[in-house]
């Protein structure tokens, strides 16, 4: 099924799908076991583009970038222990829908959909295109933009021929081969320098032969083997890596639809917790199989990977600001045996195309369903299909236009660029979700204007970064204070705090949420309570949300709410509710049978077997101890 066929199928069956989808957000009619959840969470964050980004930043600055991987441990545990139970109790399908049910109205949901499209351009499509083109450039020596055109053509054929099905069937195998190939490559790389004990000494001597006189930018950082760096002069200050990174990790792991959907496809809450634990263990690996090999690449090929002279860098990789991004593909080409080299390159290219195909499908569907249908409610399937294809083309064009900016941003470090863009757009979403879950007084007015204020501040910093890019080696830094002296991770903390302040102030200055009504995903009234879709509801695993019925499905008479639950918008779940989806909804007018869920039951409630709950809790504690030990060892 191609991307267009997928969109048509979704649109044609949309009303029925809404009636029979499982209660848990993101459930797809199938449920996944613990290893599948953990592997899927890990694979979602470790695409082949991040192999290039992490290794490149490791080559440029050492191991401090590992904090981006290890900090995920705590966000993954928060996802499974805090946010997933809330999402289950809320009975929602997507993250934008959660905020819509929590606050009411349509504008927050539309804004989040638009923000997802922006992030697709800035941090997904453009970075994937650049990563694939860079691989082709290093392997075949082709021009970067010719390689980009090749990537687009092959991806277009891949989408038409295989579409989403090809992505689903190949992602797991690709990830397995990439991880095994990365381990083999890491072993060969360490052998080239005489083992791990020689890494620090060899890295500090990795200086290119052609330098810029009277500068020190060609010298490796003296703190290259330390995770925690100076909060003022450090390239990745420990204060930002502790607080700012936690805000960005909470956005990615706890509120992003792609990630949350995987956890909510688990068989039970214990499986979701175990999946988060497994993913956290896997996130400990990149230091040894990606980042340190990137540092070794600088040791072995300093004139290419560590170049600082603009003319030399332009000759090597086409970017005058630096060529650290070629660290990993350079290792693959030079160190891997012939057969494994070809397999590794093919797998990484296929993974890049799979990622692009998934983004094209999801972005076009997101625009047509959440934005275009609201602008033109009467649009037919043919119009929506055409709009989806046009949107895909527009996204690709904008991403290609963005490539030169990406190439010259953040000193030529792809991973730093991704994080810098994320720090300007994601913190307001984190602030709103946290307040939505933990503060019942937050209302729609406060949340919306908080998001708008956060967006304005974030776009202002992004605009300054475009107007004042990072200076090249030997050029004085004349950027404004907001860029030169305020690290993007510190900016993420300030942006989150400012958004939270606007949300709190706006909520206190406007009427509190109605105690008896809230808008559902279809804009129809539904039940609300002093803790609407929030933190306290998760403590009632025997209860389920009183869902608003889709169009054409009249509500059944609700069961009486027990006195102890009067403050929660829930009703006791009848046995049928756990097996068939409509729950509080009766049959559609004129139908013989109520619609039922397709496939095996997915994650429906927060009940856990006591033994497995205890096992997960113990493993979470062990995981945090290992994480803290590793932080302390490399600090």
Q: Give me the percent of the chain exceeding a pLDDT of 90.
A: 24
Q: What is the pTM of this model?
A: 0.78
In terms of DSSP bridges, do strands 543-545 and 518-519 run parallel, antiparallel, or are they unpaired? unpaired
Tokens of 288: 């040894």
Burial status of residue 431 (CB atoms within 10 A of its CB: 0-12, 13-18, 19 or more): buried
Number of domains in the chain: 1
CA–CA distance, 50 with 40 (Å, rounded to integer): 15
296 in Cβ contact with 24 (< 8 Å): no
Three-class DSSP labels, 550-588: CCCCCECCCCCCCHHHCCCCEEECCHHHHCCCCCCECCC
Phi and psi, residue 266, nearest 5°:
-70, 160
- 113 conformational bin, left if phi > 0, alpha if psi -120 to 50, beta if neither: alpha
Q: At what angle do helices 126-140 and 338-367 cross, to 10 degrees?
A: 160
Tell me: the pLDDT tens digits for 3-53? 333 333 433 333 333 333 333 333 334 445 555 666 666 666 666 678 888
Tell me: the pLDDT tens digits for 409-447? 766 688 888 888 899 999 999 999 999 988 888 999 999
- The pLDDT of residue 394: 84
> What sign has the CA pseudo-torsion 308, 313, 319, 322?
negative
As a whole number of Å, the end-to-end CA separation of the chain is 49
Q: Which helix (H) or strand (E) holds 348?
A: helix 338-367
116 in Cβ contact with 368 (< 8 Å): no
Alpha-helix residue ranges (DSSP H) falling in 194-244: 199-204, 238-239
97 in Cβ contact with 547 (< 8 Å): no
55 in Cβ contact with 289 (< 8 Å): no
Phi and psi, residue 162, nearest 5°:
-115, -35
CATH for 53: 1.20.1730.10
Examine residue 332 and state whether it is found in any structural domain, yes or no.
yes
297 in Cβ contact with 327 (< 8 Å): yes
Burial status of residue 189 (CB atoms within 10 A of its CB: 0-12, 13-18, 19 or more): buried
- 74 conformational bin, left if phi > 0, alpha if psi -120 to 50, beta if neither: alpha
- The pLDDT of residue 44: 61
CA atoms within 13 A on the CB side of 619: 21
> What sign has the CA pseudo-torsion 329, 335, 336, 338?
positive
For 618, residues 6+ apart whose C-beta sits below 8 A from its C-beta are none
- The pLDDT of residue 515: 58
Examine residue 588 and state whether it is found in any structural domain, yes or no.
no
For 612, residues 6+ apart whose C-beta sits below 8 A from its C-beta are 268, 270, 274
> 3-class SS at 519?
strand
260 in Cβ contact with 85 (< 8 Å): no
In terms of DSSP bridges, do strands 570-572 and 518-519 run parallel, antiparallel, or are they unpaired? unpaired
Q: Which of 463, 405, 399, 453 is nearest to 427 (CA)?
A: 453
Considering only the C-alpha atoms of the chain, give the largest distance between any 2 of them, rounded to a whole number of Å: 83
**Tokens 């690996």 appear where?**
285
Alpha-helix residue ranges (DSSP H) falling in 121-162: 126-140, 144-161
Q: Which of 190, 159, 85 is nearest to 606 (CA)?
A: 85
CA–CA distance, 109 with 497 (Å, rounded to integer): 22
Examine residue 276 and state whether it is found in any structural domain, yes or no.
yes
Tell me: the pLDDT tens digits for 242-264? 999 999 999 988 888 777 877 77
Residue 298, domain extent:
39-79+94-512+621-634
- The pLDDT of residue 122: 83
Residues β-bridged to residue 585: 555
Examine residue 408 and state whether it is found in any structural domain, yes or no.
yes
CA–CA distance, 154 with 297 (Å, rounded to integer): 29
Burial status of residue 310 (CB atoms within 10 A of its CB: 0-12, 13-18, 19 or more): middle
> What sign has the CA pseudo-torsion 501, 525, 562, 84?
negative
Residue spans of the chain under pLDDT 50? 1-31, 162-169, 516-532, 537-602
- The pLDDT of residue 260: 81
CA angle 365, 368, 372 (to 5 degrees): 165
Q: Which of 426, 427, 406 is nearest to 417 (CA)?
A: 406
Tokens of 301: 């090929």
- 605 conformational bin, left if phi > 0, alpha if psi -120 to 50, beta if neither: beta
Examine residue 168 and state whether it is found in any structural domain, yes or no.
yes
In terms of DSSP bridges, do strands 570-572 and 543-545 run parallel, antiparallel, or are they unpaired? antiparallel
Examine residue 85 and state whether it is found in any structural domain, yes or no.
no
Examine residue 334 and state whether it is found in any structural domain, yes or no.
yes
For 216, residues 6+ apart whose C-beta sits below 8 A from its C-beta are none
- The pLDDT of residue 47: 65
Examine residue 21 and state whether it is found in any structural domain, yes or no.
no
Q: Which helix (H) or strand (E) holds 632?
A: helix 610-634
């Amino acid at each position: 099924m191609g991307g267009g066929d997928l969109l048509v199928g979704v649109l044609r069956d949309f009303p029925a799908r809404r009636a029979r989808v499982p209660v848990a957000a993101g459930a797809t009619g199938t449920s996944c076991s613990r290893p599948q959840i953990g592997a899927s969470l890990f694979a979602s964050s470790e695409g082949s583009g991040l192999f290039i980004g992490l290794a490149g930043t490791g080559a440029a600055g050492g191991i401090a970038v590992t904090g981006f991987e290890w900090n995920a441990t705590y966000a993954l545990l928060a996802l499974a222990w805090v946010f997933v139970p809330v999402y289950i109790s809320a009975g929602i399908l997507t993250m934008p829908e959660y905020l819509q049910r929590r606050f009411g109205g349509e504008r927050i949901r539309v804004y989040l959909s638009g923000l997802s499209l922006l992030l697709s351009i800035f941090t997904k499509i453009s970075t994937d295109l650049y990563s694939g083109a860079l691989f082709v450039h290093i392997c075949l020596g082709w021009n970067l933009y010719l390689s980009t055109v090749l990537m687009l053509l092959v991806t277009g054929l891949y989408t038409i021929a295989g579409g989403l099905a090809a992505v689903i069937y190949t992602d797991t195998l690709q990830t397995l081969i990439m991880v095994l190939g990365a381990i083999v490559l890491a072993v060969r790389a360490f052998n080239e320098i005489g083992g791990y004990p020689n890494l620090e000494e060899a890295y500090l001597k990795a200086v290119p032969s052609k330098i810029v006189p009277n500068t020190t930018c060609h010298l490796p950082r003296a703190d290259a083997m330390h995770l925690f760096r100076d909060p003022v002069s450090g390239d990745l200050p420990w204060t930002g890596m502790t607080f700012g990174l936690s805000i960005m990790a909470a956005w990615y792991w706890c509120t992003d639809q792609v990630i949350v959907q995987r956890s909510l496809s688990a068989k039970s809450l214990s499986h979701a917790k175990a999946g988060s634990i497994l993913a956290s263990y896997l996130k400990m690996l990149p230091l040894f199989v990606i980042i340190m090999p990137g540092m070794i690449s600088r040791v072995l090929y300093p004139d290419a990977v560590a170049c600082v002279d603009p003319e030399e860098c332009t000759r090597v990789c086409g970017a005058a600001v630096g060529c650290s991004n070629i660290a990993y593909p350079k290792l693959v080409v030079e160190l891997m045996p012939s057969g494994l080299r070809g397999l590794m390159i093919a797998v990484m290219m296929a993974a890049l195309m799979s990622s692009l195909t998934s983004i094209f499908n999801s972005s076009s569907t997101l625009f047509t369903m959440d934005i275009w249908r609201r602008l033109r409610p009467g649009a037919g399937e043919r119009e929506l299909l055409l709009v989806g294809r046009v949107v895909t083309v527009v996204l690709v064009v904008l991403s290609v236009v963005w490539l030169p900016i990406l190439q010259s941003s953040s000193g030529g470090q792809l991973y730093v660029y991704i994080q810098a863009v994320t720090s300007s757009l994601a913190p307001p979403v984190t602030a709103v979700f946290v307040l939505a879950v933990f503060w019942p007084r937050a209302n729609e007015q406060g949340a919306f204007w908080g998001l708008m204020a956060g967006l304005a501040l974030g776009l202002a910093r992004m605009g300054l970064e475009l107007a004042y890019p990072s200076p090249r080696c030997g050029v004085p830094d004349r950027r404004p204070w907001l860029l030169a002296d305020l690290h993007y991770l510190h900016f993420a903390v300030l942006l989150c705090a400012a958004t939270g302040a606007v949300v709190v102030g706006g909520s206190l200055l406007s009427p509190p949420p109605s105690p008896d009504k809230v808008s559902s995903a279809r804009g129809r009234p539904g039940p609300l309570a002093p803790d609407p879709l929030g933190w306290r509801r998760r403590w009632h695993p025997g209860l389920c949300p009183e869902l608003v019925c889709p169009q054409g499905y009249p509500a059944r008479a609700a069961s009486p709410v027990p006195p102890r639950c009067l403050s929660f918008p829930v009703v006791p779940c009848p046995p049928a509710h756990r097996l068939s989806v409509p729950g509080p909804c009766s049959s559609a007018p004129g139908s013989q049978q109520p619609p039922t869920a397709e496939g095996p039951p997915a994650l429906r409630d927060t009940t856990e077997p006591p033994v497995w709950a205890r096992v997960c809790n113990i493993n979470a504690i062990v995981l945090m101890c290992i994480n803290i030990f590793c932080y302390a060892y490399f600090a």
